[in-house]
Amino acid sequence: MIENIGGDLYKSWNDDQRHAEIGKLVDGYRSGLPFKILLQMATAIAGSPEDAREHLSSLITAEERHLIVSRLKGEEQTTAAAFLM
């Protein structure tokens, strides 16, 4: 249930609205939002992991993506690499 929070609402948004909302999540991550929540919410808003990856790659510089992946460990690092690299 919690994985689908807002799912119906996000489907009604256009790509610009999704991009802006994911941008807010990226800002939240930079301010302390857990990475796992960033990925879960970005995926829900974008509609798929592939679309979330596209939004995240345009919102986070390559250098910052590399730093994020290198800071994480274990499964989180693997997930981050799949989304950001």
Over residues 52-73, the pLDDT tens digits come to 999 999 999 999 999 999 999 9
Span 74-85, average pLDDT: 92
> What is the spatial distance between Cα 14 and Cα 80, in angstroms, rounded to a whole number?
26
- Report the chain's mean pLDDT, rounded to a whole number: 90
Whether the predicted pLDDT of 1 surpasses 60: no
**Residue 2's CB: how many other CB atoms inside 10 A?**
6
Q: How far is CA 54 from the centre of its chain?
A: 9
pTM, two decimals, is 0.85
